[in-house]
Structure formats: C-alpha cells, structure tokens
C-alpha cells in the first residue's frame, strides 16, 4: 500500500516515504516449523498441507524473519545466549509472508486460523517522520564549509544543552571504543563531515529517496560529525557508527542484524515509528497516533534479545502526540500472540529500551521559540516509560540543505532537524560519551538499568507549557556532568560521601552523655580521616582491611566491656562492611546510583543476625589441616567436619 507524495521541482525528489505493511506470522513452537532451504514441513510431524495450499493460492511465500534458515537463527541465538542475563525470545518462530499487498488482510485471517500458527498480524509500514520537510537552499556553498558548531547549542552546558563539551574533557569522553548502529532507511556516508569512524551500511537494502538519506544523515551528524574546523561536530565523534536499513528485511530483522554486531554496552538507535491503534493503524499525513515500534511482537522480540545481552537500545517514542499510558495500548491488535502484553507499561513487560521524547529547545534558539525550554513539543508522544528528552526542534546537523544547500547533498547542512528523530540521537550521543568514559576508567560498561536510573535522576527537568504540562512525561534533558557523577562516581568522592554519612549516623546513634558524645565525635572524625587516607588502598585491598577491622572489633567486644569503645569499634565494623559492599558495587557488578548506595548504607545500621549465632557455628572448613600431636588429634577428631561432598 505504498503512497507517493507529490513533490515540486523545488522540493527534493522522493519515490516513497511510507513502506507497505508487513504480514508477520508466529508459528507454534511445538510445530518445529521449517520454511527455508527449500523445505516446508513440521519437524514434529504435523500436517502442513493446508498451510502450503493457502500460501500457494494467494501467491505468497513465508520465510524466517531473523535468518536465512531456522537452524541459522537458532545457532545464532545459542551462540549469544550465554551472554544474556535475561530470558531471550525464540526468534526462529517469526516469519514474514510476502504476498501482493491487497491480499494481506484475507491471508492474515486465514493464517490465524491454522493450527500451526500462534499469531498472524499485519504490521503497518515503517514511516519516515513527516515533520522534517525542509528543502535545500538553492545557493551553492562557499569553497569551504563554515564552522556551524556554534549553532549546536545542544552541546553546551545544562540546562540548555547536554554539556557534551565537558564530556570531551574526560578521557574517553567522545565515545571512544563504542559502536553505534542506526536503524532506519538510508544515509549519506559520503557527506563531507562524516568521514571518520564510519562503518557504513552493514545490513538491509537502503531505501531510495533523498528524504530517507537526509533523515539518516542528519541523525548521524548529531553524534558522529567529524572533529574539524568545518560543518558540525558530533556529540560522540570517536564512536564508530554503522547503519542497518530496514529496507527489504523489515524493522525487526534490521534490529537483530544490528544486535548481532554489538558487544555489551554498544548502542542501537531505532529511528522508526509507525501508525498505531489510535486511528486503526492507518497512515496519516499528520502522523498523529504514530507510536514506538516495540509495541509490535517481532520488534519487541528483537529489542529484548539485544537488551538482555547488555546492548543499549535507544528508541524514539514517536511523533504521534499520543499518551502511551493510555489503556488503548493494553489491547492487542488483531492476530497478536495470545501471550502478548503491552510493553508501554513496563510492569507488564519491559523491552529494556531507553525511550526518548522530544522537548523544546531554549526559546530564542536560532531566533525561534517553540515554548518553554524542555517542555513537551506538541507532536511528541509521552508517558511513564519515556526515560529522557532531547531537542525536538532546531537541531543543527548534516543533511537537508536548509542551512547550507546547493546541488551536492554531501555539503548540505540543516539548522532545523526535528522530531523524536532529532531528540533520540542526542541521548545516543550522551550514552556513547558515558560508555567511553566508563571504558577509559576501567569500569564495566553501563547497563540499561543504570542508564535509565541516571537519566531519570539527573539532568534538567521537564517544564510545563500551556496545554502540555510536565505531567505529560517526556523526562529530563540529560546533563552529562551530572549523569557521569551518577553512573560512574569517582571512588574518592564516594568514600568522602559515605564517610560523611557514617559520621552523621554515628553521632545520631549515640544517645549518651555529653562526654560520650564528645568521645564519639572525636573517634568518628578520626575514623573519617582514616577512611579518607585509606580510600585507594581499601578499595584495592578491601577484603583484608574489612577482615582486620572486623577481627579487631570482635576481639575488642569480647575483651572490653566499655560501651564507648565497643560502639566505636561497631562503627568501624559498619564502615568496613559498607566499604566491602561498596567495593562490590564499584566493580561495576551492580553500579547503583549514589542515592541507592547511601540508602543501602543506612540500612546496614540494622543488620540481620541468625537465631543460631556465629558463636555456635564452629568453622570446620580447615579442620583437616590441624596439628599432629595426639591431644590435638583427639580434639580435632572430635571436632572434625563430618562433612558432605564439596559443591
């Protein structure tokens, strides 16, 4: 059902900006269906002839979405499953049915009735956002492109920008050793300002038409623009950027192909939206009702299989002016699998994606006013699942030609790239910078949980606009400086914070005389000083220190009944325990925000002790090694561990 948009000679030419719908089939896993490599069969012996006849009558062909054959899909999944820390969806049961578009609805109905089929649904075509209808200025550019980076005020400090310029002062802060994959229609990798760190198109068949290439090129420019004296500069220009087109293979396959090339911590950007149920999945020129792609089962499966392996997926919320919390989205579309649940409500199920909304830039940017800074733009979808906002207007980047035009597309620049399309690359750039800094510091890459937590707890908050209150959530605009402090706090700073809290707690806890209080404060200050001095050593040798302090505390407890000294040692115990726990947190295994760490610290004040105390549980693990005198032997034999097997 492709429609062609009429273009004047002044506007750029395009063959189609909307793709036909896709018929997606999910077979029942018990059927062990095979429709590839010349086969059409059920490995579990079920009758496939009805299905075969149905497809033949409609001139249709069914093929696996996520690989050439089902075995290749399963082999690929088996290879990556070890790295997954959440269950993965079985991608081998998803099929695309190729048939004349006018036959899709009837074919869907009949397929859904087959015993071998769990789900059959028509997915509307992925559409190019219509909001970017800029045309190239006719004047030829100067011999050398000017430096437009001063117009990229989204790079500046918060609250107006994301403070990318600060991130660039940090080691790794331009996204070093990070891979980004953009999933959309097409790009112009020959652009003059996209020459460094480019991986090119690595999947799909790029879609013809300057609208598609303009869009992709503008997206790339935001995070990947070269560092030079011309044009623009990308937020994370050291990251390697590649692209997968959904042309010819569909969005779900494109996402999966991008994921197959990602390591944990790398980023996939989904620059897609499509018509949702609001207007019965119909394409509209105003694109109202258009939503993020994870709502559809095959796209969700591809996304979750990526995020479960630690890959960061950034997803545009869509330009449909929709409330994604609406109960409308709880209802499955016709033909969805019986177990489908609405992922727009993360309590149902969670794709793991970072979802981005579009907010207004500071009024006066480029001489225009789109409403209060960081307010929701009228077209932007909103809802509880939106994790952050980016600029949805006035983004200066490559492509389109309205800022610098002429006949060569490789020299085009825009001043007005818009939409959740322009917002999402800003968040991608922020995350890429953060991952680069993490790697440079020798920390583990950030997980999507950490990223979401820090995007939500830091940054410049959303503001109200008339008719678009902040309760229509699009989240905060990231502030890289605060984001990094949240996601990757420096060890010394953390220890100082913790030591301060311990000191506070210590003083609070002591409910004694002034004399005792003074003693306590003295001891606590000494402890804080001690902690500050030992911070680096303790993190490296945390276990040792912890054990030493614990042993001392225990010993003292047994020897000395003096309450003050015991309490002082108890505090040291708590410090040691907390530092031990923090060491674990700081190795990146958990990586919770500072707020969470501090509340965990407060909770360590209350510790759980088993009814059967440690004094009743002799440590027999090394009893076999004890001395050889007869008396010792007898005593040892009595106490020897009559242990079970080693586990």
CA 264 to chain centre: 11
Q: State the first-to-last Cα distance of the chain, in angstroms, to the nearest integer.
A: 62
Smaller CB distance to other proteins: residue 106 or 547? 547
- Minimal distance, residue 638 CB to other proteins, in Å: 5
Are the C-beta atoms of 217 and 19 separated by less than 8 Å?
Answer: no
Smaller CB distance to other proteins: residue 118 or 415? 118
Helix (H) or strand (E) holding 517: helix 514-540
Helix, strand, or coil (residue 4): coil
Give 614's contacts (C-beta < 8 A, 6+ positions apart).
none
Under DSSP, the state recorded for 150 is: G
- Rounded CA-CA distance 426/430 in Å is 6
Q: What are the distances in angstroms from CA 561 to CA 21, 515, 555, 566, 567?
A: 79, 17, 11, 7, 10
Smaller CB distance to other proteins: residue 330 or 614? 614
Helix (H) or strand (E) holding 432: helix 420-440
Helix, strand, or coil (residue 646): coil
Smaller CB distance to other proteins: residue 171 or 330? 330
Residue 236 sits at φ, ψ, to 5 deg, of -130, 65
Q: What are the distances in angstroms from CA 368 to CA 336, 360, 379?
A: 44, 11, 17
Under DSSP, the state recorded for 123 is: E
Beta strands in 338-392 (DSSP E): 354-359, 386-391
- Minimal distance, residue 26 CB to other proteins, in Å: 11
Smaller CB distance to other proteins: residue 28 or 123? 28
Smaller CB distance to other proteins: residue 288 or 636? 636
- Minimal distance, residue 304 CB to other proteins, in Å: 10
- Minimal distance, residue 305 CB to other proteins, in Å: 12
Q: State the helix-helix crossing angle for 563-586 and 491-509, rounded to 10 degrees.
A: 150
Smaller CB distance to other proteins: residue 171 or 348? 348
Give 157's contacts (C-beta < 8 A, 6+ positions apart).
163, 165, 166, 479, 481
- Minimal distance, residue 86 CB to other proteins, in Å: 6
- Rounded CA-CA distance 362/151 in Å is 13
Smaller CB distance to other proteins: residue 466 or 613? 613
Smaller CB distance to other proteins: residue 31 or 194? 31
- Minimal distance, residue 314 CB to other proteins, in Å: 24
Helix (H) or strand (E) holding 119: strand 117-123
- Minimal distance, residue 64 CB to other proteins, in Å: 14
Smaller CB distance to other proteins: residue 157 or 570? 570
CA angle 481, 483, 486 (to 5 degrees): 110
Closest by CA position to 249, among listed 166, 77, 126, 364: 126
- Minimal distance, residue 646 CB to other proteins, in Å: 6
Helix (H) or strand (E) holding 430: helix 420-440
- Minimal distance, residue 594 CB to other proteins, in Å: 18
Q: Which residues bind other proteins (CB under 8 A)?
A: 28-32, 43-45, 71, 74-75, 78-79, 86-87, 90, 338-339, 577, 580, 600, 603-604, 606-612, 614, 616-618, 620-622, 624-625, 628, 633-634, 636-647
Helix, strand, or coil (residue 94): strand
CA angle 165, 167, 173 (to 5 degrees): 125
- Rounded CA-CA distance 492/532 in Å is 8
- Minimal distance, residue 633 CB to other proteins, in Å: 5
Burial class (CB in 10 A: 0-12, 13-18, 19+), 230: middle
Smaller CB distance to other proteins: residue 44 or 229? 44
- Minimal distance, residue 427 CB to other proteins, in Å: 27
Smaller CB distance to other proteins: residue 171 or 641? 641
- Minimal distance, residue 83 CB to other proteins, in Å: 11
- Minimal distance, residue 616 CB to other proteins, in Å: 5
Give 71's contacts (C-beta < 8 A, 6+ positions apart).
none
- Minimal distance, residue 198 CB to other proteins, in Å: 31
Question: What torsion do the CA atoms of 108, 303, 237, 485 make, to the nearest 10 degrees?
Answer: 150
Smaller CB distance to other proteins: residue 43 or 144? 43
- Minimal distance, residue 124 CB to other proteins, in Å: 27
Helix (H) or strand (E) holding 24: strand 22-27
Smaller CB distance to other proteins: residue 147 or 544? 544
- Minimal distance, residue 75 CB to other proteins, in Å: 4
Q: What are the distances in angstroms from CA 221 to CA 12, 143, 237, 344, 618?
A: 20, 20, 9, 29, 65
Smaller CB distance to other proteins: residue 196 or 604? 604
Give 38's contacts (C-beta < 8 A, 6+ positions apart).
none
Smaller CB distance to other proteins: residue 68 or 86? 86
């Amino acid at each position: 059902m492709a429609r062609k948009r009429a273009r004047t000679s002044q506007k750029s030419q395009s063959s189609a900006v909307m793709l036909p719908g896709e018929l997606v089939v999910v077979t029942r896993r018990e059927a062990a269906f095979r429709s590839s490599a010349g086969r059409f069969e059920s490995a579990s012996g079920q009758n496939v002839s009805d299905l075969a006849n149905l497809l033949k009558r409609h001139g249709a062909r069914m093929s696996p979405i996520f690989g050439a054959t089902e075995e290749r899909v399963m082999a690929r999944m088996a290879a990556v499953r070890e790295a997954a820390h959440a269950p993965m969806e079985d991608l081998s049961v998803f099929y695309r049915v190729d048939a004349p578009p006018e036959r899709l609805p009837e074919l869907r109905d009949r397929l859904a009735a087959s015993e071998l089929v769990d789900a059959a649904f028509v997915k509307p075509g992925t559409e190019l956002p219509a909001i970017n209808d800029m045309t190239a200025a006719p004047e030829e550019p100067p011999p050398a492109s000017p430096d437009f980076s001063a117009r990229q005020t989204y790079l500046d400090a918060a609250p107006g920008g994301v403070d990318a310029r600060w991130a660039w002062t940090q080691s790794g802060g331009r996204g070093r050793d990070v891979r980004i994959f953009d999933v959309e229609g097409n790009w112009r990798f020959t652009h003059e300002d996209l020459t460094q760190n480019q991986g090119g198109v690595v999947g799909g068949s790029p879609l013809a038409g300057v609208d598609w290439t303009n869009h992709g090129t503008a997206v790339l420019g935001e995070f990947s623009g070269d560092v030079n004296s011309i044009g623009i500069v990308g937020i994370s220009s050291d990251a390697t950027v590649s692209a997968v087109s959904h042309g010819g293979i569909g969005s779900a396959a494109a996402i999966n192909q991008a994921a197959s090339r990602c390591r944990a911590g790398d980023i996939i950007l989904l620059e897609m939206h499509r018509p949702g149920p609001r207007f019965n999945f119909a394409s509209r020129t105003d694109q109202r009702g258009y939503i993020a792609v994870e709502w559809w089962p095959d796209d969700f499966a591809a996304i979750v299989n990526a995020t479960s392996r630690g890959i960061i997926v950034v997803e545009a919320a869509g330009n449909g002016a929709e409330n994604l919390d609406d109960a409308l989205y709880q209802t499955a579309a016709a033909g969805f699998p019986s177990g489908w649940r609405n992922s727009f409500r993360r309590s149902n199920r969670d794709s793991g994606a970072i979802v981005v909304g579009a907010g207004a830039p500071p009024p006066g940017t480029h001489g225009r006013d789109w409403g209060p800074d960081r307010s929701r733009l009228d077209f932007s979808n909103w809802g509880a699942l939106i994790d952050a906002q980016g600029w949805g207007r006035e983004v200066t980047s490559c492509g389109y030609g309205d800022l610098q035009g002429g006949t060569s597309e490789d020299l085009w620049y825009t001043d007005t790239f818009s939409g959740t399309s322009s917002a999402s690359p800003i968040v991608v750039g922020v995350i890429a910078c953060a991952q680069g800094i993490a790697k440079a510091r020798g920390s583990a890459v950030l997980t999507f949980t950490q990223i979401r937590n820090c995007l939500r707890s830091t940054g410049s908050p959303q503001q109200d606009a008339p008719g678009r209150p902040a309760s229509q959530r699009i989240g905060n605009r990231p502030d890289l400086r605060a984001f990094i402090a949240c996601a990757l706090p420096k060890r010394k700073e953390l220890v100082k914070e913790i030591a301060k809290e311990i000191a506070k707690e210590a003083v609070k806890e002591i409910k004694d005389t002034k004399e005792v209080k003074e003693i306590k404060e003295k001891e606590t200050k000494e402890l804080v000083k001690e902690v500050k001095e030992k911070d680096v050593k303790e993190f490296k040798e945390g276990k040792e220190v912890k054990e030493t302090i614990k042993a001392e505390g225990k010993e003292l407890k047994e020897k000395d009944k003096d309450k003050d000294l015991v309490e002082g040692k108890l505090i040291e115990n708590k410090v040691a325990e907390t530092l031990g726990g923090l060491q674990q947190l700081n190795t990146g295994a958990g990586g919770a925000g500072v707020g969470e760490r501090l509340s965990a610290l407060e909770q360590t004040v209350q510790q759980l002790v088993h009814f059967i105390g440690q004094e009743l549980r002799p440590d027999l693990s090394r009893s076999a090694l004890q001395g050889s005198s007869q008396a010792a032997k007898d005593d040892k034999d009595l106490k020897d561990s009559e242990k079970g097997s080693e586990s």
